Chain A
Amino acid sequence: MTLSGSKRLSGRALHPGRGAGTVLILDQPISFWGGVDHHGVIIDVHHPQCGVSVADRVLVMTSGRGSSSATAVLAELIRAKKAPVAMIFTECDTILVIGALVSAELYQIRMPMIELTAQDYEKIPTAGIVQVEASTETMVGFITW
């Protein structure tokens, strides 16, 4: 995996961890329950990216939506290694943060989550590989590419 490493954005760390993968920017928020199946594929027929897989991607969306069960679905996807490697929001989504916390507690798999300002959100590359690193010691997260 090669990163040019020359560009970097920083934001607020919501959940600690480190991961790298291909960026997937969602045009609309998604509810993991009822919106993503157990393989990590988007099944919400109302979503413009229905049919796309979120597994192993750096998932970028303004926030989550809908069901409280998204917590359980995300935790299960992380356990089954079908989850995104990192998530980036403009608005902290408590329901998804809980899913990451539960997976870290049970399986020691730490999925980084970062909240960016709306201006920085626009600067995320639309394709290619990025690295995400977040610490809740410093409460800072970095996206590098």
Chain B
Amino acid sequence: MTDSRLILTELEQAMLAGDLGPAIAMSMRLVVGVAKANQATRLIEIESAHADGCLYHGIAGLEYTETLVKLGGKVKVRTTTNVSSLDLLHPDLVRADGAFLGNSRRLMDAHLALGCEATWTCAPYQTGHRPGFGAQIAWAESNAIVFANSVLGARTERYGDFLDISAALVGRVPFAGLHTDQGRKASFVMDFSAISRELLDEESAWPAMGALLGDIAGNRVVAMTGLHGDLADGGLTEDRLKSLGATAASSGGVGLFHIIGVTPEAPNLEAVVQANCETMKVTTEQLRASRDRLTTAVGDGLDAVSLGTPHFSLPEFESLAKELKSGEKFADSIDFYVSTSRGVLGRAEEMGYAQILRDAGGRIVTDTCTYVTPVLNPRIKTVMTNSGKWAWYAPGNLGIATILGSVKECVASARAGRLVRNDALWF
């Protein structure tokens, strides 16, 4: 190797030289390129991958993936697929033209040809792909990365499309950054002890915290204190951390956070912080300002509700079904969407939750998401969501005005046909 700092094993050198086939060599060129940029001294083997490159963004991604197929590539480790641009279970939902549909489908097919599992979800951790504590993995999709690192205690760098699939083909990634003990130490502390317990029990507090975390952290690892939660409580804490992480990975480049006493690597502050760490005490005003950045709409007009970014979990379906049990329907003027994976939908059908949602007038989107592909009716201008990530991206992606609220407030608003939100706790 020309870079003396990176040492490859004999096998890895053979892979790079093309001795194990051209798809392995092409993948290895990408992995080695990233290793040099990240100043890794060696590669490490991975247990699994999650591939984000199946969402269609243009010809370049399609050509990269189809080239790997043409060259005979196959994944070496378990690899799940992220959301695509299409809903294969409900094909009429996506409003797109022939070339987009054709290329999106080719991109999905290319991933399957490489040996990926057809999960089509941004939340593979909800459908059985949960790497263990300390597992070295190559995951892409910003929410999946921050969830795997923070909530599962697995180890992945913030990877982008194509490195994920290439790492899966060679079964290796550069040993650097969030793969290493040192790279996982927090360099900043955020203290939430001044925030009332009532506000912390409010669903929207978590995306608001995420937006603030992303703003403050940038790409740094942050430790948070003064928060409560129990990852064995049946899903509530997990869904809150999903929401927090997804929003922080949208407003910032957060790949890992620690919550002292809650997330698995952080039994206490000493275990996760670097020396001389600065601490910021978060105020209710700051949290409210972050929440308000996720609302771009003015007034109480509303055209639609979108839940499930990242994909709606089974516990979220259960609490939505409880909210809908009176049987009261959504107003005719409101379109109500829930995005989820085909895996979770199967379970939600068995439990009857999906039918309760449809009976109220809701529509279920699978394999994709309402903000990455044209699903919403063009008449829709203002959308309420429980997702900080959806609220962050929809104004730019879709030209839509957003309102952030809890699932409870989204249901009340959808029934009333206008915004219903309780602000009392935020002041």
A: residues with CB less than 8 A from B are 14-15, 29, 31, 33-35, 38, 43-46, 62-73, 75-76, 78-80, 91-99, 101-103, 105-107, 113, 136-137, 139
Contact = CB atoms under 8 A, between A and B. Distances in A.
Interface residues of B, number: 49
B61 A72 contact: yes
Given A34-B397, A46-B293, A63-B219, A97 B60 contact: no
A71 B160 contact: yes
For B29, B219, B251, the residue with the greatest tally of chain A CB atoms inside 10 Å of its CB is: B219
A72 B396 CA distance: 18
A75 B214 contact: no
B142 A76 contact: no
Contacts of B296: 45
A15 B37 contact: yes
Nearest to A135: B2
Given A72-B60, A72-B162, 20 more contacts: A29-B218, A64-B253, A65-B218, A68-B164, A69-B55, A69-B57, A69-B160, A70-B160, A71-B162, A72-B57, A79-B59, A98-B33, A98-B34, A101-B29, A102-B60, A105-B29, A107-B60, A113-B37, A136-B2, A139-B36
Closest 10 CB pairs of A and B: A71-B160, A76-B58, A95-B160, A72-B57, A75-B60, A65-B253, A68-B140, A71-B161, A101-B33, A72-B61
B206 interface: no
A31 B251 CA distance: 9
Contacts of B3: 136-137, 139
A11 B114 CA distance: 38
Given A15-B37, A93-B253, A71 B163 contact: yes
B33 A65 contact: no
24 contacts: A29-B218, A35-B396, A43-B396, A45-B296, A62-B218, A63-B219, A65-B214, A65-B218, A66-B251, A68-B145, A72-B55, A72-B57, A72-B58, A75-B162, A78-B60, A94-B37, A94-B38, A94-B157, A97-B33, A97-B34, A98-B161, A101-B33, A103-B60, A107-B60
Nearest to A71: B160
Interface string B208-250: 0000001000110000000000000000000000000000011
B136 to A, nearest CB: 16
Contact of A69 (B26, B145, B161): B161
A92 B183 CA distance: 14
Given A65-B253, A78-B60, A98-B160, A34 B34 contact: no
Given A46-B392, A65-B214, A136-B36, A73 B57 contact: yes
Nearest to A92: B37
A93 B157 CA distance: 11
A75 B2 contact: no
Given A46-B392, A63-B219, A68-B52, A94 B60 contact: no
B52 A34 contact: no
Contacts, number: 150
A36 B162 CA distance: 19
A99 B159 CA distance: 11
A66 B253 contact: yes
B36 A106 contact: no
A46 B219 CA distance: 18
A45 B2 CA distance: 43
B161 A34 contact: no
Q: Give the interface centre of A15, A68, A96 by most chain B CB atoms within 10 Å.
A: A68
Given A14-B37, A34-B397, A136-B3, A72 B253 contact: no
Given A46-B251, A71-B163, A94-B38, A80 B218 contact: no
Contacts of B261: none
B341 to A, nearest CB: 17
Contacts of B74: none
Nearest to A78: B60
A43 B396 CA distance: 5
B293 A68 contact: no
A94 B162 contact: no
B250 A67 contact: yes
A76 B56 CA distance: 11
B142 A98 contact: no
A85 to B, nearest CB: 17
Q: By CB atoms of chain A within 10 A, which of B145, B293, B392 has the most?
A: B392
B253 A29 contact: yes
Contacts of B57: 33, 69, 72-73, 76
Interface string B158-181: 111111100000000000010000
Nearest to A107: B60
B21 to A, nearest CB: 16
Contacts of A64: 253
